[in-house]
Chains A and B, each alone.
Chain A
Amino acid sequence: MPDLINGLVAITPTSVTRTGTGSTASINSDGSVVFGSCNTLTVNGVFSSAYDNYLINIRYLYVSGLDYLSMRLSSNGTDSVSGYAYQRFEADGTNFVAARSMSETSGLIGYGSMTESGVSVYLYSPFLVETTSYRSIGATYYTGSGFYEPIGEHLVSSSYNGFTLRDLITPRTKSGLLTVFGFNQ
Chain B
Amino acid sequence: MPVEPFEITTIYPDGTSETRWSTPEEIAQREADIVAFEDDRVAREAAEAEHAAKRESAKAKLATLGLTPDEVSAAFGL
Binding site for B on A (CB under 8 A): 12-19, 23, 25-27, 44, 77, 79, 81, 94-96, 105, 166, 168-171
Contacts and interface: CB of A to CB of B under 8 A. Distances in A.
Contacts of B41: 169-170
Interface residues of B, number: 20
Interface of B: 6-13, 15, 29, 32-34, 36-37, 40-41, 44, 73, 77
B13 A168 contact: no
Contacts of B33: 105, 166, 171
A94 B73 CA distance: 9
4 tightest Cβ-Cβ pairs between the two chains A and B:
A94-B77, A17-B10, A27-B13, A15-B12
A106 B6 CA distance: 21
Contacts of A25: 9, 11
Contacts of A26: 11, 15
